[in-house]
Amino acid sequence: MSIANIVIGPLIIAIIFGFVVGSRVHLNLDNSFKFTASGIIALIIGALLMSYGLGQFPVYNDVPIATTFLGAVIGVLIGSALLGGRAKGDH
């Protein structure tokens, strides 16, 4: 169990999947959670704690945290920061 043996494939897919969904998340709305630096840090710390509680998938045995969960959170945040504010919702 070491970080050198980390399974990178599902992590990358999780980041891409999170990016796709996160590209539709608007972060700059007045009436919702404010994504300031402190808000994002709190969210990432919460995600880290949660991923430790969830644990890694059974056969991966690389790190004791759920890397796909963490990658998905980071993907959503990156996607929303890059594309979310400009996504046009026409529903």
Partner 1 sequence: MMAEGKKSPNWNKDDSSPILKIMTLPIAIVIIALGIMTILGGHITPGGGFQGGAMIAGAIILCVIVYGVDGTPLKLSHRFISTLESIGALAYVLIGLAGLALTGSYLYNVGGNLYGQVPQAIAALFSYPDLTHAGIVPYLNIAVGLKVLVGLSAVVIAFSQFKKLAEEEE
Q: By CB neighbour count within 10 A (0-12 exposed, 13-18 middle, 19+ buried), where does 30 fall?
A: exposed
**Shortest distance (Å) from residue 43 CB to partner 1:** 6
Contacts of 79 (CB under 8 A, 6+ apart): 18, 19, 20, 21, 22, 23, 25
Q: What is the largest CA-CA distance in the chain?
A: 47
Neighbours of 28 (CB within 10 A): 10
Out of 21, 41, 45, 82, the only residue in the binding site for partner 1 (CB under 8 A) is 21
State which of residues 2, 9, 37, 86 lies at the interface with partner 1 (CB under 8 A): 9
Report in angstroms how near the CB of residue 37 gets to partner 1 at its nearest: 15
87 binds partner 1 (CB under 8 A): yes
Span 25-84, contacts to partner 1 by CB under 8 A = 25-27, 29, 31-33, 39, 43, 46-47, 50, 54, 57-60, 66, 68-70, 72-73, 75-77
4 binds partner 1 (CB under 8 A): no
